[in-house]
Structure 1
C-alpha cells in the first residue's frame, strides 16, 4: 500500500529515513480510487447483505475497503474520487453457465426467437436469404415449435418452399434439436437408410423418410459437414461476446464447452487485457483436446484470474422441449418415448472418473430425471474420495429430478447449476411433458435451497438471453414480463431477492472455486462491480428485468459505459 507525502519537509525526512516508524504517523493511506456516493450492496463472505456508500480499491484493482464515507474519506484522502451520484452499485454479476463463442457467433446468424408461428419463421428465413446472398449456408435457429403451437416439429419441406438452392441448418432454441432443409440433408447424406446414433434420433414420417429434424446426437450427422469457423471468425465472435457480456453487467461467466481453438484464443485475450469478462472454462468432453491439455495440471488461474480451465463439460441427455431429456417413465404427452441417454451408465462413470482423477471438476448436463439419476450415481461413486469430492462437481441444469434424488445432491456434495429463465421459458410446455407429479421435482429452487444446497445461477446464453437481470427477475417472480401467470408459476419454488442475488454472485463464484477472489466486494478481492439505474432490492419486482447497466468495472478499470 502506498502512502501520501504531506509536505516537502516531511518528504525529505521520510526519504532519508526510508519510511521509518517516526514518519508513518504523518502519513495518510493512499489508494488509487475512492468510489463515493454509492447506494451499494454486497454480500459478506458468510452471505449476509452489507450496505455501503464508499468503495476503495488500489491501482492493481483489488478492494481495500468497503463502508461509510465518514470512515474512509479521511483515511484515503489522496485517492482519486469517482462519484456515482447515488446510483446503485453491486458486485459484478456471474453467469454460471453460458456459451461464449456461441453468443458471439449468434450475432450474425439467423434468429427465429421472435417468431410466433411457422409462417413468420418461413418469412424470416426468406428475408435472411435475400439479405445475405453471399453465404454458402444459412445457419442459426432459436426456433421453438411449442410457441408456434404446431403440435409437431417443423419439416424440411417447410424450409424448401422459401429456400431450396442452398443448405439451411437451424438449431432449436435449447440447442438439442436441429431443423434442416432438403439441400442440407443431401449434403449430410441423411436418407431413410441412415441409422440413429447412440443418444440421438432422426425424426421420420409415416413412410420412414427423414423429416429434416435431428435430435441430440443425431445433429452430429449434419454438423460434421458444416463449414468450420476460421481464426478471423472466432475473433469476431469473441469480440462480440465480450461486448455483449460487459454491457449487461456480467464480469464473469462459466463457459460450458471449450475446445482447443477457443482455449488458445481466450488465453491470448486474457494475456492482452482483452477478456473484459472473466471466463471459467469447461473443456468439452474427456477425449480429443482434453487428452492433450490434461497432460499438464488444470489451469486454475491465468492473467490475474481473467481465465481458468479446470473443469470438463459432459452430457447425459438432451432437452425437454425436443423430448430428448431422459425420463424414468414415458413422456406424458408422448407415451411412445422416454427420451435419450447419450451414453450407457458405465461409460458415464468412466468419463467422470477419468476427469476427476486428473484433478478436473466434472460438470454434467442433465435435464430429465433419468439423466440426473445417472449423473448422481456417477458422481456419488467418485465423491467417496475426499480429494475428488473437494473438486465441487456440478450438475448443469438439474431440471427434473425425483423428489428422492434431490437430497442426494446435498449429501454427495454436488452443486446444482441452474438457469432461472429456463423455468419461465418452459412453463408453457413443461407440465405437458412430465405431468403434475413429476413437476414437483422440476425447477425446484426452493427445495434445493431449503436443504442447504448452494445454487449457481446462469442463463445458458445464447439459448436464453444473457442479461442476468432477466434471470434475477425469473428467479424471484417465476413470471413472464407481463407478470403472468398471476402469482407466479409454482411460486412455492421462487427465490427471495437476496437468494437470487447470491446465486448470481457469491454462490456462482463458489461453484468455480473463486469465492475468495470474486463474487462480493470485500477486502482483497478483485474490484469487479457494476453501476445500475435502479435499486433492485427496493423497486417493484416487475421492474427488475428492465434494469439498465450504466457502468461495468473489471479489476478497478471501467470496461463499459452506457451511452
Structure 2
C-alpha cells in the first residue's frame, strides 16, 4: 500500500490525542460542504478550518475566525497540509451483506467471457472446499457472445458440488446441474410467478434462473447464521470506510441481519452509519413494524423504512415495461411483487410510520409504484414519510412530474448509466430513453435525487459515481461527450446527492450530510480537490483518511 508520509505522520501522531481530547481544530485544507436546506436551495460553502467537539462540528470557517476564541491549552490542532476535506459520503442504496459476501466469495465482475468465469470458479472451488461453490458478478453483456451462460460449461469442471453464481445485478442466477438437481428443476418444472427458468430449444433448463425462480435453488443452500452475517458485515465496513463512505442505506435487511446490526451497534462496532430498510419479504415484518422505528443514540443504526421489490433488472430483461422489449418483443419483463400485494404492503407499513422504498426499474414498475403511492395518500395518508422509488431508472415521460407532485424521492445510482450504456438502448429503444437515467430532468423539477451505487451490483467507490454523474462517461472516458449528456449533473449537484440529499432521503438531514455546527463530524480527507481537477479525473480521488463522529476509522497506510 502507498504511504502518504507527510500528511499521515501528522494524522497518526494526533490520533492518540484526539481520542482523548474533546476539542480538535483541523486546519490548512480545502473544505467543501453543501449547507442549508436539501435540494436546489442548498449552497456550497468553502472553508479551511473546522472545530470538532465531542464528535460534532462546532464551527467551520477560517482558522483566524475559529481559533480567536479558543483556549490553546485545551484544543488539539491538526494541520491537513493543503489536502481536501469533504463531508463523509452517504451511499443511498447499497447491499451491505451482499458486499461482504462478494468480498469473501468468488468475484466474477471482471470475467471477460463465460469460459473465463468458469475458470475463475474452478480455481476458487479448488481452494475452498465448502459444500457449495458460491459467487457473484457475471454479466453476459460484457462478453462478446452476450448470451446467458449454461450449466453445461460449469459441469465440465465441477460436477460433484452444487454451484450457484448470482448475476451482477442480483436478479438472475447461474447454476450447475448438481444445483438444479438439488432444487428439483427439470423440463417439467413450471416457472414461478414473477420468475423465469431459462430453457433451451428443447425445453430443458439451461442453468439460468431469473428473479423469483432463483429461490428454487437458494432455498436448498445452507442457512446463513448470525456468525456468517457478522463476518460479512464487518468485512463490508472495513472496505467502505477505506473509500470514504460513512453512511449506507442498506436496501433490504432481514430479521437476522437486523439483530446482528443491533448487536454491533450495542458494542460500538459500527464504523459506518446504517439506515436499514426492512425487507418486505421478511416473515416477521409485522412484528418488526409493531416495534416502531429504531434510532440509536449515536445515530449509528436507524431502522425506519421498508424495501419492496416491484420488478427485476434491465440486463436480465426482468424490468417490467409498459410495451415489449425492443430486443425481445415476446416479453415485457416481470413483476416480482404483484400490484395487489404491493397495495397490501402499503396498508401494513404506512400506519406504523415507516418510509416505503420501492424498487422500480422499468416504466411499468415505476407507474405501478406511483399509482400505489397516490392511492395510499388518498386513503391512508403517509405523504409526509418521504417515500422513495429505488432506481427510478426507466420512467415514462408522463410519469416524471408525478414524482414531484407526490413528494417522491428518486433514489438513483449514477454508475448504472455508464454500466448499462452498451445494452439499454437495445433493450428499450431510443424513444423510451427520453425518460431513462434522467437525473437532470428530475433535478430541474425540484425532485430530491439521492445518489448511491447499488453495491455490489456496481463497485462501491463513490467517486466512480460522482464521475459518472458529472461526465456520463465510463472511466475510459467513453463515449466522447457523454452518453445522453444532457442528463448529466453538475459537480455540486453530484456531491449534494451523495451527502446532504442522501441524508434527507433517510430523514437525517439535521444530523448528517453536511459539515455544519451541531451535526456529526463525519468527514473524509482526499488527495485531490474535485473542484480543481478536470472532470475526467474525478474518479481518481484517493481517500487518505475517514472520520465518523470525529473518530478516525480509516487511515491510508
Per the normalisation by structure 1, the TM-score is: 0.93
- 1:332–1:433 Cα contact (<8 Å) kept: yes
1:328 to 322, 327, 337: 322
Show the counterpart of 2:60: 66
Give 1:466 shift: 0.7
Uncovered stretches (5+) of structure 1, i.e. residues with no partner: 1-29
- For the Cα contact (< 8 Å) 1:271–1:303, is it kept in 2? no
1:272-294: per-residue Cα shift (whole Å, max 9, x none)?
22100000000000651212212
Who is 1:245 aligned against?
A: 240
CA distance in structure 2 between the partners assigned to 1:557 and 1:75 by the alignment: 24
Among 425, 428, 449, the alignment partner of 1:434 is 428
**Correspondence for 1:279 among 274, 277, 286:** 274
1:292 is paired with a residue of what secondary structure? helix
Looking at structure 1, the residues matched to 51 and 471 of structure 2 have their Cα atoms a distance apart, in angstroms, of 34
| Counterparts of residues 68-83 of structure 1 (less than 5 Å) | 68-78=62-72, 79-83=75-79
Residue ranges of structure 2 left out of the alignment (5+ in a row): 1-20
* 1:308 corresponds to which of 277, 288, 302: 302
| Alignment equivalent of 1:469, drawn from 454, 457, 463 | 463
Match in the other structure for 1:3: none
| Cα distance between partner residues in 1 of 2:91 and 2:337 | 28
Counterpart in the other structure of 1:186: 181
Q: Does the 8 Å CA contact 2:452/2:498 hold for their aligned counterparts?
A: yes
Q: Is 1:346 the counterpart of 2:337 in the alignment? A: no
Which of 92, 105, 115 is equivalent to 2:111? Answer: 115
Residue 51 of structure 1 aligns to a residue in which SS? strand
Deviation at residue 303 of structure 1 after TM alignment: 3.6
2:149 maps to 1:157: no
Range with greater deviation from structure 2 (289-298 or 385-394)? 385-394
Q: What residue in structure 2 maps to residue 545 of structure 1?
A: 539
Aligned: 1:38 with 2:29: yes
Q: Please give the alpha-carbon distance, in whole angstroms, between the structure 1 residues aligned to 2:193 and 2:380.
A: 33
- 2:142 maps to which of 131, 134, 147: 147
Q: Secondary structure at the match of 1:87?
A: strand
Higher relative contact order (CA 8 A, sep 6+): 2
Q: How does 1:244-263 map onto structure 2 within 5 Å?
A: 244-263=239-258
| Greater alpha carbon shift after TM alignment, 123-132 vs 210-219 | 123-132
Alignment counterpart, residue 50 of structure 2, candidates 49, 55, 71: 55
Deviation for aligned residue 1:227: 1.1
Q: Which digits, 9 at most, give the CA deviation of each residue in 1:178-210, with x for residues without a partner?
A: 000000000111111111111101111111111
Bigger drift between 143-152 and 447-456 goes to 143-152
Report the secondary structure of 2:456's partner residue: coil
1:89 is matched with 85
TM-score by length of 2: 0.94
What secondary structure sits across from 1:318 in the alignment?
coil
Structure 2 SS opposite 1:107: helix
> What do you get for the CA RMSD once the two structures are aligned?
1.3
CA displacement 1:282-316 (0-9 Å, x = unmatched): 000065121221222211x1141110010000000
Structure-2 change in CA distance of 1:34 and 1:387 (3 Å)? farther
Residue in structure 2 matched with residue 383 of structure 1 by the alignment: 377
Deviation at 1:409, TM superposition (A): 0.7
Moved over 3 A (4+): 384-387
**Secondary structure of residue in 2 paired with 1:220:** helix
Does residue 415 of structure 1 match 2:409?
Answer: yes
CA deviation profile, 1:500-547 (whole Å, cap 9, x unmatched): 000000000000000000000001100000001000111111111111
Q: Which residue of 1 aligns with 2:212?
A: 217
